[in-house]
Amino acid sequence: MPRPEAPRAGGPALSGVGGVGLGALHLSSASRPSEADAIAVLHRALALGVTLIDTADSYGRDDSEQHENERLIHRALQSYSGDTSGVTVATKGGMVRPGGAWVVNVDPEHLRRAIRGSFEALGGKKPIDLWQLHAVDPRHPIEACLAVAREAVDQGWVRHIGLSNVTLPLLQRARRVVPVVSVTNELSPWQRASVFNNVVACCEDEGLAFLAWSPLGGPGRVKELGALPGLEALARERGVSVHRFVLAWVRAVSPCVVPIPGVSRLATLEDALGAATLDLTPEELRRMEPLLPHRRRVL
């Protein structure tokens, strides 16, 4: 298949990011593949031209596996026979997994330990390409959280700073504290809050990358894609799967948007990455709009 297209988002800080990234969460989830199969997925993604891998210190079954997904990615990069110098690994900190739950913890002391742990898990020899605050908590001002990230940049542990799961006001506050290069928010046919609330528009205007997590709706929604009236017909007309068509639609929301679908099987990897070179026409986008659910869930 064609390699992902040339860089399209993120300004000079993320100049190597292409049209579709790889979300690595499901490589360490409860239904994970074997390590050999997970590394095979990562190696194949790299061979197909993926230049962005999304992870987090909390990607695993529970707190006992903190940093495990990052270590897996590091092992895959170390064992890959090709050039990985242009690959951006984007990780996150600020969530913990007691008993497998997802709980926000952005206490500055926790973030300091988390960043150091991510730095070591990813090899400990060069700064983390992109570290992102995974979530926010009103008990800890975002300014205090990002002061920790700024310290990590000064210490040589982090190269660039991003945000995840934020509103426009929080993004604007954050940019007054540190240089922000990316936002990672949910964007899918069911969740377009970042469009309605102008987070995507701000990223486009300011040259930030918008990394779209769960672009197919996540495990709970992806099977519903085929049930959206008319969507299957649109995809069939282009000779592609519904999944590839929807990922192309997510890309079409803005030039700054890079979908990061979670892929854990070789069987679905190539189809997802094919969206990087599928450009929808204005007519297809016009026909797509009335097919979309119109819930405006606010972050």
For residue 201, give every residue at least 6 positions away whose Cβ sits within 8 Å of its Cβ, in sequence order, or none: 195, 254
Buried/exposed 52-88: b ≥16 CB within 10 Å, e otherwise: bbbbbbbbbeeeebbbbbbbbbbebbeebeeeeeebb
Instruction: State how far Cα 274 lies from the chain centre.
Output: 17
Establish if 50 belongs to a structural domain. yes
- Say whether pLDDT at 3 is over 60: no
Mean pLDDT across 66-79: 98
Establish if 237 belongs to a structural domain. no
The DSSP code sequence of 131-177 is EEE---BTTB-HHHHHHHHHHHHHTTSEEEEEEES--HHHHHHHHTT
> What is the DSSP-derived secondary structure letter of residue 25?
G
Establish if 290 belongs to a structural domain. no
Establish if 281 belongs to a structural domain. no
Give start and end residues of each alpha helix (H) in the chain.
35-47, 68-79, 108-121, 142-154, 168-175, 193-196, 199-206, 231-238, 242-252, 266-273, 282-288
Establish if 52 belongs to a structural domain. yes
Known catalytic membership, residue 59: yes
- How many domains are contained in the chain? 1
Residue 141's Cβ-side half-sphere holds a number of Cα atoms within 13 Å equal to 6
Cβ count within 10 A of residue 162: 26
Task: Name the residue range of residue 210's domain.
Answer: 14-223+254-274
| Sign (positive or negative) of CA dihedral 41, 217, 181, 272 | positive
Give dist(CA 39, CA 45) in Å, integer. Answer: 10
Long-range CB contacts for residues 231-235, cutoff 8 Å, separation at least 24:
231/288, 231/291, 234/284, 234/287, 234/288, 234/291
Establish if 105 belongs to a structural domain. yes
- Say whether pLDDT at 27 is over 70: yes
Render pLDDT for 115-143 as a digit per residue (tens, 0 to 9).
999 999 999 999 999 999 999 999 999 99
Render pLDDT for 264-274 as a digit per residue (tens, 0 to 9).
999 999 999 99
Catalytic residue from among 26, 59, 171, 211: 59
Establish if 288 belongs to a structural domain. no
- Say whether pLDDT at 215 is over 90: yes
Give the phi and the psi of residue 33 in degrees, each rounded to 5. Answer: -75, 175
Give dist(CA 77, CA 106) in Å, integer. Answer: 29
Instruction: State how far Cα 276 lies from the chain centre.
Output: 15
CATH of residue 208's domain is 3.20.20.100
Render pLDDT for 53-68 as a digit per residue (tens, 0 to 9).
999 999 999 999 999 9
Q: What is the pTM of this model?
A: 0.93
- Say whether pLDDT at 165 is over 50: yes
- Say whether pLDDT at 13 is over 70: no
